[in-house]
Structures are given as structure tokens and as C-alpha cells.
Amino acid sequence: MSNIIVKEVKEDEPIPTTLAGKILKEEGQRREEELDEELGYAHRRSIDHTEKFTKITNKKAEELFEELIEHPKVTDELAVKMIDLLPEEKKEIRALYSKERFVLDEEGIEELLEIIKNYR
């Protein structure tokens, strides 16, 4: 088992599971082609995880992200959580907002559910 050493964090931004899977697959292909390396156990498991828990395509995730962040009370982090979970009920949206410093009213919850419904 190889140890992974992180030398530096180049970017730190929330991304949906679907995009994480795409990045993992591309990096895996690059390593196999350029470095003639097989994917390690953790890399394979990470790809498996993203495939199991991805609910929409990358294209739809990007479109949904853009639409969600137009809402005044949706941060990048909340948009990514909504993309990963695709909530169907008000209580799921409320749970996502439970640790935020602002409250989302019923109308806002309905708006978000309607937006998300269009991407299922």
C-alpha cells in the first residue's frame, strides 16, 4: 500500500460528487497512460463511491449549480450539497440550512425544490 503525500493544496472549492468522479477518472487514465501505473486501492474505491452516489450528469450538475447560485440565499457549498442530494422534500432543504446563519422561508424552499425538480 502506497502512502499519499500532499505537497500543496492548489485549489479548495466545493465540487459535486459527479465532478469529483470525473476528475478521479481523468487522473487515473493519465497515470495509466503516462506513468504506466495501475490505480491504487483508494483511487479505485473513490471512483466506485462517486459512481454509486452520483445522481445526475456533469452537464446537468453544472447547469443546476449556475441556476442555484443565482438564488440570494444559496452559497456555493449549499448548491453543491443540493446537487449531491437532490432533495425532494422541504425538510431536506431545511436540514441543509440548519447550520446557516440565515433562515430560508417557505417561499424560498419551494423555489429551490422547483429548480431542483427540473434536473431529476
- Residue 4 confidence (pLDDT): 64
- For domain 58-117, give the CATH number: 1.10.150
How does 10-32 read in b/e, with b if 16+ C-beta sit within 10 Å? eeeeebbbbbbbbebbeebeeee
Q: What is the pLDDT of residues 85-117, one digit of tens each?
A: 999 999 999 999 999 998 899 999 999 999 999
Could you give the CA distance from residue 97 to residue 56 in angstroms, rounded to a whole number? 22
Contacts of 33 (CB under 8 A, 6+ apart): none
| Domain ranges, ordered by start, for the chain | 17-53, 58-117
Query: What is the model's pTM?
Result: 0.84
